Amino acid sequence: MSTKWDNDEEIQRFREYLKIPSVHPDIDYNDCVKFLKKQARELDLPVAVYELVARKPVVVITWEGVHKQLPSILLNSHMDVVPVYEEHWTHPPFAAVISKDGLIYARGVQDMKCIGMMHLEAVRRLKNAGVRLKRTVHISFVPDEEIGGVDGMRAFAASKEFKKLNIGFELDESGPNPKPNEIYVFYGERTSRQIVVTCRGEPGHGSLLIAGGARTAGEKLHYIIDKFMTLRAQEKKKVDEGTWFGDVTTINLTQIEGGIQINVLPEKLSVSFDIRIAADIDHEEFENMISRWCKEAGDDVTFEYVVKNPQIKSTILNDKLTFWTALEKAVNDMGFTINPVICPGATDARYVRQQGIPAINFSPLVSSPLLAHAHDECLHVDVYKKGIDIMERAVQAVANVPN
């Protein structure tokens, strides 16, 4: 299907990238690497490929600044996308079809191949215009963000290769905003914890009611579930009353296991919770609360972590962070406002912050509903093009911060 955008080189490069099925599970990143190397050649910029973990390449394209001694800017995105259920899509998810009304349908069109290409196109526009930036700009493309980034940004950020880049500030992904003139930025993230609480009791016949103070595994499990779900209801009420989703602690019961037969009191029952701890919560106090609940539930009630991510400090947005003030001014000068919030989920920026580097998640996608990971993930051509405009100004602003 021919469209009026067939001769738009920025759109066609974007579609070429979207057509690469870098989809979980078992991704082969080779086609992404080939595509990005081609972009680097066209830009006449050096490109490095680091394979810190086998079959998990990190691609870094570098545009050297005038003052090479200054800490550099990192523009990061991830190459991987989540799985698709093709039968639920209007168009094939890796065909990058543009509808008559200008919507590009593709997995990754929002999350987050659009941002990686905006980084490249912003640099392309600036370089072609003869602009020279004070600071060196590194454009990185990493693997496996959608499955936690362990073999991607986490490994890269802790490596000697990363340290040699002398990063002073990072831009990463945020999310689309349905409002026409507002852009979300994330300056921090909640902390992901996944726990399993195990409740043990004496087995017996299913017809019994254990006398005295003893509790069955089921009674103990009931107490634990009640505590977690009561806290969940309290946090959900905050959201219902207008609190930003990223500013509350979310708790979801995801698994219950145990028992051997319906007429036998189980010796052991377990329940699993996915928890995202709000950025302002004291982690030690939160863990002590869970320990207290387990003690109150009865003897032989314990919990263990399946995932215990460390608490990572948020980036402080104030006048001392001149990258932030430069970014905000550039966006405001274009007629847009910035809404800084805590990210409800998790991004690769947390690994950069963990290195003590300020990071802001910035996706200039306005007038767009959140469709990341959804069937029929799509983005309007005009939103993408406007995003490049905004990104160009943003990159120029942060890379020209004098000190």
User: Which residues have a catalytic role annotated?
Assistant: 80, 145
Return d(Cα 110, Cα 369) in angstroms, integer. Answer: 10
Q: Alpha carbon 350 to chain centroid distance?
A: 9
- DSSP conformation class of 222: H
Nearest to 353 by CA among 298, 297, 320, 311: 311
CB 168 within 8 A of CB 135: yes
d(CA 373, CA 36): 23
DSSP three-state, residue 233 = helix
- Alpha carbon distances (Å) from 322 to 102, 194, 327, 398, 402: 37, 36, 8, 8, 9
| Rounded Cα distance, 319 and 341, in Å | 17
Q: Where are the beta strands (DSSP E) in 228-380?
A: 250-258, 264-265, 268-277, 301-308, 337-343, 359-362, 378-380
Are 1 and 97 in contact by the 8 Å Cβ rule? The answer is yes
Which residue matches tokens 């191949």? 113
- Which is it for the CA torsion 349, 359, 118, 129, positive or negative? negative
Q: Residue type for 110, please?
A: Q
Q: List C-alpha distances in Å: 160 to 52, 130, 156, 164.
A: 10, 32, 8, 6
Instruction: Give the C-alpha separation, 210 to 142, whole Å.
Output: 56
Alpha-carbon distance of 271 to 195, in angstroms, equals 8
Contacts of 37 (CB under 8 A, 6+ apart): 47, 49, 59
- 381-399 vs 9-18: helix axis angle to the nearest 10? 100
